[in-house]
Structure 1
């Protein structure tokens, strides 16, 4: 089957969220700045955002290895937060204050093109999250940011984190479609490679500012993914919308 026919079969687009749909780094930076201002603490809050995010993959690996029980991303984020507060001068935050800061991940703001591009794509395709973020996090984020999902699918529903195969296969099953009728949209090649290995179609969306100015782009081989787009509007155009 040629690529054009393969893409014509696609019925649903499943989106990675952190970094692909929303600007986690800029959003966490801004929230932490407000906390710092309230406490009269000056730090590099973008570096704080980076440190928080850097704990994400290792924490999930601890769950996979059995060193930690299964837990939501909210719970993992809180563990990571507790481990980095001291070097950033935030050790004095009480539990309620830490909980509120932890919920900054529920309040992440979308990239400038996200809502418009997703609304265009929604005209033809079912659009859903496929994120390691827990169900309540993704629901709250959608409500606060105005994200126009048809539904919210979380790794929490499968008891597995991406890139475990159960997440991609489970999403297709929940949507009542074949795995090759599902396209993963993501800014992270590793996520897309895992999805492709399990039969999904793939769309790589370039987010050059996810990690800030000057961060080197991901290496992607030519024709590695079905589509490569500059943003969601470009993806919509490539899909004829």
Structure 2
């Protein structure tokens, strides 16, 4: 059986609450009896999940990162594939909101982007298979459960995926600091694919050329750009604001 490890209170709590059937075993730190861990154990008990006590040192050896005294051994979540995208877009209709991450390589940033995507009601998150990070333990921990519920699709050809979305009636908006118009000047009320570039380098040339238009976040300070996960949250909730106002 292929399994993966999810660790951290929020991430483990989320998978126990949403998909307890995926949890093969739960490892918890000996001697911990605080309320947050009790809540996790209560979820495990209600779903008859097997629980194993381990010392902190043993848990430290199981994963890299702060496990907060709890690690879940789980079956992988159902994978979304490139061919699933048209059905997801069709089901969302005029409310389609696609987040495209062009070359994000930091798992902490991907996890934070997925968390914002879940909160904003994103239809799917798209990323290229090459030169970008995929789902993993750190992503699951930072995403706090969002990685289990937001469709995440890695595609072999990002430009082709953008073109397919355009053919389906989705406007592709690329975020770039050199854009003439602010994001707040753009109409984001219809079906939108929001493209965020990689940390530092931004969007690749072909990705930029296949956007319907570019937009920027106005920057008043001396720093020229925001962290990609912070910028993603700001941009997604501008879409949410416009749609609630329309």
Higher strand share: 2
Higher helix share: 1
Larger radius of gyration: 2
TM-score (norm 1): 0.34
